[in-house]
Amino acid sequence: MNKPEFDITYSQLPPQLYAHTKPDPAPNAAYVWLNNSWARSIGLDPAWLGSDEALGMFSGIQDIEEDYAPLAMAYSGHQFGHFSAQLGDGRALLIGEFVDSDATRYDLHLKGSGSTVYSRRGDGKSTLRAALKETLFSEYMAAIGISTTRTLAVFETGETVIRDKAHKGAVLLRAAKSLIRVGTFEFADIMKGADIVEKLADFLIVREYADIDIEADDRHQQLFGQIVSRQAELIGKWMSQGFIHGVMNSDNMALSGETIDFGPCAFMERFKPNQVFSSIDQNGRYAWNRQAEMAMWNLSKLAESLLDLFDENQEAAIQIAEDELSKFFPQFMMHFNQFVMRKLGLSIEGEQAEDMMSQTFAMLSTAKPDYTLFFRYLGDVLTGEDESLLVALCADEQPLQSWLSVWRRHIENEAITTTEIAKNIQQINPIYVPRFRLVERALEQAGNGDLAAFKHLLKALQDPYIEAVEFADYLFVAADDDADEQTFCET
């Protein structure tokens, strides 16, 4: 068994940015799930991860003897557009940083490990449901190639956590490239003095944007430009796969470009551009089709925090911020278009692709097919000339038929054979997706002590391109009326 080496470089930053804290002791902690294969692939010995020693460390039983101390990070955030100065890790903890064999540094972060100085009125705890939901979604995101934090382990604490009712308590151990958020800079910005913003920005460059020359005068502009690019790509991927994050507050946007915080998130089932699942998102601020706009909004808050670093002259600094921000939408559109064209099996670009995008989404809005299966079944149209699967997905067939004739004309112009295109379509479009009712069933059963449905669903979601008989139940089209399909933050 190889015990990994941990340290915490975050504590080199000014002390206003964190508070040392220990996990609440959970003497009855027991693992319910371990991500052995991923642990192995980042060089973390699964034998150690599953050991009593590791569990003791994560559950606050065994004191950490190393020369570092775990900490909760401070951050602010705009929540649904309103600024909260004092947020921070209220139920989470950086338990250690770990460097993998490729020299990638990960934050190992506990969620649900007890209250911290940032807990406000919260209990610092997490439910088993919330931990398992985050696991299902983040594993799926990783499987479909979307940058994301990932679960390494989930353990039950043996405690009861009260939310809408009594739930089993649990702690999630997640690994992130870094958990510095837009909100971390917003917090640093209000802690005027001591160059905290600059220290944080330089720390982020070294940690996450190492191709930027740390000596360069314009390094903070470069940093901001690259953050903008990563977000543009991330949101392009989210939207092309029908992902709705649900709570894109500025404290939930990680500057690494990873997806974080899987509270009320969901995947779109029947296509509806203004789809919202979250019970608290009454005005549809974070609807599927507003996510690029909201990412841009968060980035403008980040720019405000970085302004003094761009240029001493305020007007010049604002100009730099605006120039970099203005690159967001074109880059987002480029990625979104590219991903959707690949999903359609097309290599068209430029105006042709833009035209195809608008025709496709106009058709989806009226035909209202299941979003995931629509793309997946396009391949079958090419191989068997059988449209019945596709037609069965749609609420209205006529717009689908007119669109299909346009799509077929493009397919004929592709340089490769239709068999190859059909194969590509199956390779890029998953057949499984964490559907609302499947996730709910798995979490409900897990709450009653039976993990079978969770494990079965997870297996499909970790390998979502391969159709298998054992997952036949997972292919269904959501009802037209999704009114009772609401997600909750579970905080």
Residue nearest to ligand AMP according to CB distances in the complex:
122
Q: What whole-number distance in Å separates Cα of residue 447 and Cα of residue 196?
A: 43
Q: Which entry of ligand AMP, Mg ion, none binds 125, CB below 5 to 8 A by partner kind? A: ligand AMP
Q: What is the side-by-side order of every strand in the sheet holding 166-176?
A: 18-20, 71-73, 92-99, 105-111, 166-176, 150-162, 30-34
Cβ of residue 176: shortest distance to ligand AMP, in angstroms? 13
Cβ of residue 79: shortest distance to ligand AMP, in angstroms? 7
Cβ of residue 88: shortest distance to Mg ion, in angstroms? 10
Identity of the residue, 119 or 401, whose beta carbon is nearer to ligand AMP in the bound complex: 119
Measuring CA to CA, which residue among 123, 133, 120 is closest to residue 166? 123
Q: Which entry of Mg ion, ligand AMP, none binds 359, CB below 5 to 8 A by partner kind? A: none
Q: What residues are paired with 346 via a beta bridge?
A: none
Residue nearest to Mg ion according to CB distances in the complex:
261
Among 186, 261, 269, 370, binds Mg ion (CB under 5 A): 261
Identity of the residue, 54 or 161, whose beta carbon is nearer to ligand AMP in the bound complex: 161
Sequence-distant (≥ 6) Cβ neighbours of residue 477 within 8 angstroms: 269, 270, 369, 370, 373, 392, 393
- Tokens representing 261 are 């915080």
Cβ of residue 122: shortest distance to ligand AMP, in angstroms? 2
Q: How far is CA 466 from CA 33, 342, 472, in A?
A: 23, 18, 12
Please, what sign has the CA dihedral across residues 305, 310, 313, 316?
negative
Q: Which entry of Mg ion, ligand AMP, none binds 124, CB below 5 to 8 A by partner kind? A: ligand AMP
251 labelled catalytic:
yes
CB atoms within 10 A of CB 398: 11
Q: What whole-number distance in Å separates Cα of residue 477 and Cα of residue 475?
A: 7
Q: Which range of residues in 98-106, 257-265, 301-309, 455-463 is near Mg ion by CB under 5 A?
A: 257-265
Cβ of residue 103: shortest distance to ligand AMP, in angstroms? 29
DSSP 286: T
205-243 burial, b if ≥16 CB within 10 A, otherwise e?
bebbbeebeeeeeebbbbbbbbbbbbbbbbbbbbbbbbb
Helix (H) or strand (E) holding 159, with range, is strand 150-162
Cβ of residue 255: shortest distance to Mg ion, in angstroms? 14
Binding region for ligand AMP (CB under 6 A): 87-91, 118-119, 122-125, 247, 252, 261, 263, 489, 491
Identity of the residue, 17 or 205, whose beta carbon is nearer to ligand AMP in the bound complex: 17
Backbone angles phi, psi at 272, to 5 degrees: -150, 110
Identity of the residue, 80 or 476, whose beta carbon is nearer to ligand AMP in the bound complex: 80
Among 84, 241, 252, 256, binds Mg ion (CB under 5 A): 252
Q: Which range of residues in 211-219, 255-263, 382-390, 398-406 is near Mg ion by CB under 5 A?
A: 255-263
Cβ of residue 181: shortest distance to ligand AMP, in angstroms? 9
With CB under 5 A, what is the number of residues at the site for Mg ion? 2
Of 89, 107, 202, 251, the catalytic one is 251
Identity of the residue, 46 or 257, whose beta carbon is nearer to Mg ion in the bound complex: 257
Q: What residues are paired with 31 via a beta bridge?
A: 155
Q: Which range of residues in 16-24, 185-193, 200-208, 258-266 is near Mg ion by CB under 5 A?
A: 258-266
Identity of the residue, 33 or 262, whose beta carbon is nearer to Mg ion in the bound complex: 262
Sequence-distant (≥ 6) Cβ neighbours of residue 338 within 8 angstroms: 236, 353
- According to DSSP, the β-strands at 166-176 and 71-73 are unpaired
Helix (H) or strand (E) holding 140, with range, is helix 128-143
Identity of the residue, 261 or 370, whose beta carbon is nearer to Mg ion in the bound complex: 261
Q: Which entry of ligand AMP, Mg ion, none binds 90, CB below 5 to 8 A by partner kind? A: ligand AMP
Q: How far is CA 201 from CA 195, 204, 212, in A?
A: 10, 5, 12
126 lies in the binding site for Mg ion (CB under 5 A): no
Q: What residues are paired with 417 via a beta bridge?
A: none
Identity of the residue, 176 or 200, whose beta carbon is nearer to Mg ion in the bound complex: 176
Q: Which range of residues in 63-71, 249-257, 264-272, 286-294 is near Mg ion by CB under 5 A?
A: 249-257
Cβ of residue 260: shortest distance to ligand AMP, in angstroms? 8
- Which residues of the chain form contacts with Mg ion (CB under 5 A)? 252, 261
Q: Catalytic residue numbers?
A: 251
